[in-house]
Amino acid sequence: MDVALFNTFSRSLEKLEPLHDHEVRMYHCGPTVYDYAHIGNLRAYISCDILRRTLEYAGYSVKQVMNITDIDDKTIKRSHDEGLTLSELTKKYEAIFLADLRHLNINVPEHLPHATEHIAGMIAIIEKLLRDDFAYKTDDGVYFNIAKSKGYGALAELDLTAVTQSRIANDEYDKKNARDFALWKFWTEDDGENVFDASFGRGRPGWHIECSAMAISELGETIDIHTGGVDLLFPHHTNEIAQSEAFTGKPFAKMWLHNEFVMVDGQKMSKSLGNIITLRTIVEKDFSPLAYRYFVLGAHYRAKSNFTWEGLEGAETALARLESHIGEEIGKINESYKKRFEEIISNDLDTPRALALAWEVAKDAELSNADKAATLLNFDRVLGLSLSPKQKEIIPVEIEALVRTREEARKNKDWKKSDSLRTEINSLGYEILDTEEGQVVQRF
């Protein structure tokens, strides 16, 4: 099965041709672990999961890397606000994030590099960029000179005619203001103990260099697919390309995939509007996280999706009805439906049409119940809706987070902390069994 994907860089549908035979190497911009991920962030990871499952279905082996940003402007600020060390803060939100992924039946990527583990690689890149004159030093840090970069801004189709030379230390800025950006920020009091020695001066990395260093170190100088939300096109991906290509002299990624936003009641989610929805909110309202997955698949990943509670309710009902077509008896996969499914999903991961086809199967009076089940379960290898007739128990994300913290405490032989966490988990109505395979959690 050939797979065609829409490459943002060329603005066209392209057949995937991996650099290394049957292995696809892909990099996803992962979470900045300073808060709960909202459902728009989570949509990006559902899209990555559909991509991975499609590639595996097509017979590729996949090397999938998703970074964890555990040091940047936002994480440092939040650690001060919460009175935690940076590592306490980021570990807490990383555990919650990974629990969210599992609840959404997302296969967690095998490689989850942390920015703080790759500082040496970032320093090496910056040293070379300084030597080769792509970067320069100022009083407050090391900056990348975008005037030296060939084709800067092509990915985001930036108009650079109005750009005057100026620089910006913030990791995030406006599309109208392409500027030299910080690769490294010299230590200031706000950074506290979060500081690293480097030949060009003590400090910490900017956000963009983190992804370049992790992607190159884990996947090589040119990767097959790089993904992220559309909000990352500029400045983040634009800057990743500029600094990586200046460093290696090679194309950074063959294909760029970008997923669209989730709107809420027709509006962009934002703190100021107070309409941010997390998976925790969804579970608290007694919806299954998989209902949200079904909801997400109802829109193509490159189309905006509009979240409403009625929409989620509809998704939950639809999912339960679809699941009711899976009985205990599993027959043969219907070849003609299978072929149509493969055409649909290999055409830029067209999940809305794949769901429509699943419904066509479910309603097909000519097909035996057993063959329906087999055909739908085959689709589900990609859709990941966890279709099965059995009841699933959902462990709330907070409980999962506590369990992971306890796991950590046990690893560090901190029995006092581990015991107090057990008491806390019990008080919330769950018990923990320590088995040979690890901790098992269940409702009392």
Residue 33 as a binder of Zn ion (CB under 5 A): the answer is no
CB of 301 to Zn ion, least distance (A): 18
Take residue 177 and report the two structure tokens written for it: 């203001």
Paired residues of 94 in beta bridges: none
**Closest separation in Å from C-beta 234 to Zn ion:** 12
Q: Could you tell me which residues come within 8 angstroms of residue 419 by beta carbon, excluding any fewer than 6 positions away?
A: none
Which of 68, 211, 297, 397 touches Zn ion by CB under 5 A? 211
Q: Which stretch binds Zn ion (CB under 5 A): 98-106, 165-173, 209-217, 420-428?
A: 209-217
Total residues binding Zn ion (CB under 5 A): 2
The distance of closest approach from Cβ of residue 163 to Zn ion in the complex, given in angstroms and rounded to an integer, is 23
Cα distances from 92 to residues 36, 105, 328, 398, in angstroms, run 10, 21, 40, 10
C-beta of 358: minimal distance to Zn ion in Å?
A: 33
> Of 229 and 384, which has the nearer Cβ to Zn ion?
229
**How far apart, in whole angstroms, are the C-alpha atoms of residue 169 and residue 184?**
9
Residue closer to Zn ion (CB basis): 96 or 211? 211
Check residue 29 for interaction with Zn ion (CB under 5 A). yes
213 binds Zn ion per the rule CB under 5 A? no
Helices (H), 289-414: 289-297, 309-323, 335-345, 351-363, 369-383, 397-411
262 binds Zn ion (CB under 5 A): no
Contact call for residue 322 and Zn ion (CB under 5 A): no
212 versus 375: smaller Cβ distance to Zn ion: 212
The DSSP 8-state label assigned to residue 190 in this structure reads G
Smaller CB distance to Zn ion: residue 228 or 384? 228
CB of 118 to Zn ion, least distance (A): 12
* Residue with Cβ nearer Zn ion (261 or 359): 261
Q: Does 65 bind Zn ion (CB under 5 A)?
A: no
Task: Provide, rounded to whole angstroms, the least separation between the CB of residue 42 and Zn ion.
Answer: 17
Tell me which DSSP letter residue 189 carries. G
| CA–CA–CA angle 87, 171, 275 (5° rounding) | 80
Helices then strands, each counted (H, E), the chain: 14, 16
Residue 236 CB, nearest approach to Zn ion (Å): 5
- Only segment of 52-60, 99-107, 204-212, 397-405 that touches Zn ion (CB under 5 A): 204-212
- Assess 48 for contact with Zn ion (CB under 5 A): no
Q: Confirm or reject binding of residue 233 to Zn ion (CB under 5 A).
A: no
| 8-state DSSP, 347 | B
Measure CA 406 to chain center: 25
The single-letter DSSP state of residue 200 is T
| Residue 358 interacting with Zn ion (CB under 5 A) | no
Of 252 and 341, CB closest to Zn ion: 252
First to last CA, the chain: 47
d(CA 44, CA 301): 8
Output the smallest distance, CB 272 to Zn ion, in A: 25
Q: Which is nearer to Zn ion, 72 or 323 (CB)?
A: 72
Tabulate helix, strand, coil % of the chain (nearest 5). Answer: 45, 20, 35
Give one DSSP letter per residue of 396-442, joined into a string: PHHHHHHHHHHHHHHHTT-HHHHHHHHHHHHHTTEEEEEETTEEEEE
Nearer to Zn ion by Cβ, of 29 and 397: the residue is 29
| Interaction between residue 71 and Zn ion (CB under 5 A) | no
Provide the sign of the torsion angle of the four alpha carbons 72, 74, 75, 81, taken in this order: positive
| CB closer to Zn ion out of 29 and 312 | 29
The smaller minimum CB distance to Zn ion, of residues 9 and 136, is found at 9
**Rounded to the nearest whole angstrom, what is the least distance from the CB of residue 166 to Zn ion in the complex?**
23
The nearest distance, CB 421 to Zn ion, in angstroms, is: 33
List residues near Zn ion by CB under 5 A: 29, 211
